[in-house]
Amino acid sequence: MSYTKKIKLLALDLDGTLFYPKNYFTLITNKNVKMIRDFVNQGGHICVVTGRTLKIKKQIEKRLGCKISFIGCNGSFFATEDDVVTNKVPLDNKKMVELVSTVDHNYGIRGWLLMGLQDKMYAYTNENFVVKSLIKFATFFRFAYSDKIVISKKKFFEVLENEEVYKLMPVFGLGKKHNDDAYEVFKQFRDKFSEFCTLAHSVSSIEITGVNTSKGKCLLDLAQKNNLNINEIAVVGDSGNDISMFDNFPISFCMNHSVQGVKKHAKFVIKRVSDLKNYLQEENEDKLFN
């Protein structure tokens, strides 16, 4: 099977996209791996564009058997195939400490997550010991998808005050009620805090990143630095934080399980990343560009 040479880079979201359907032991399904390897073996490149931290990059490279570039924390930094980190847009430490301290005991927030370039996340919750134990238990049983989490209010604020932080997440709980609560608070936060950060609603949490950050913006910067035309990049995602990619890159794919409000921004809809092979074949170029 020969892939078109007109698409030089695949930009792939992770959760709900490359990591769909979930395989808790191998990280990425065999069909998705084969499609990616075939594309890379024919000269293509892969950029993962995710809300996750840099820690996951090496796991993906090991599974795919190739080097990848990486946009993390919803466009807050970029890492080259050789792990050089650029385009860093950290949060304002002082303003984030003020934000957390101001809203911590209000709005129904159950806990906080903090992400940087470290190999672990930091979290704290005002809930009791049982809840903390359940968080650790649930994290462990995500297996290949799990992240190292340090649950400590003291350590959380030490990092928030003194180190580069790229993503902050207030978490509201599990279930539809908490999803709805998160969305209502997101709208309030957007009105109050958007001057010094970027906010996105994500199921039962809110994602807070640096000013004017998005997956699409960071990917545009990457394309410009590498002399890539926007028509030479195919983007794939499934959620609201992928819309900035869909809106900036004409060759866009949304996952079929996504909500209609996200799907409408993409040119194509697919069930699996492995289905890209049906679009990237040389004989299907007209389908891509018309």
For position 54, what pLDDT does the model report? 93
Residue 210 has pLDDT above 70, yes or no: yes
Orientation angle between helical segments 93-103 and 153-162, nearest 10 degrees: 140
Residue 177 has pLDDT above 90, yes or no: no
pTM: 0.92
For position 143, what pLDDT does the model report? 44
Phi, psi of 229 (to 5 degrees): -75, 150
144 pLDDT tier (thresholds 50, 70, 90): low
Domain segments of the chain as ranges: 9-88+214-289, 93-209
| Same CATH fold assignment for domains 9-88+214-289 and 93-209 | no
Look at domain 9-88+214-289 and name its CATH class: alpha beta
Q: How far apart are CA 236 and CA 39, in angstroms?
A: 15
Q: What is the pLDDT of residues 120-135, one digit of tens each?
A: 899 988 765 434 544 5
For position 141, what pLDDT does the model report? 41
Q: How far apart are CA 52 and CA 269, in angstroms?
A: 23
203 pLDDT tier (thresholds 50, 70, 90): confident
Three-state DSSP string of the chain: CCECCCCCEEEECHHHHHCCCCCCCCCCCHHHHHHHHHHHHCCCEEEEECCCCCCHHHHHHHHHCCCCEEEECCCCEEECCCCCEECCCCCCHHHHHHHHHHHCCCCCCCEEEEECCCCCEEEEECCCHHHHHHHHHHHHCCHHHCCCEEECHHHHHHHHHHCCCCEEEEECCCCHHHHHHHHHHHHHHHHHHCCCCEEEEECCEEEEECCCCCHHHHHHHHHHHCCCCHHHEEEEECCHHHHHHHHHCCEEEEECCCCHHHHCCCCEEECCHHHHHHHHEHHHHHHHHC
For position 138, what pLDDT does the model report? 45
Average pLDDT taken over every residue of the chain = 90
**Sole residue written with tokens 């609603």:** 201
Asked if residue 122 lies in contact with residue 159, where contact means CB atoms within 8 angstroms, the answer is: yes
**Sole residue written with tokens 């609201």:** 240
Q: How many residues does the chain have?
A: 290
Look at domain 93-209 and name its CATH class: alpha beta
For position 77, what pLDDT does the model report? 97
Asked if residue 274 lies in contact with residue 31, where contact means CB atoms within 8 angstroms, the answer is: yes
* AA letter at 280: L
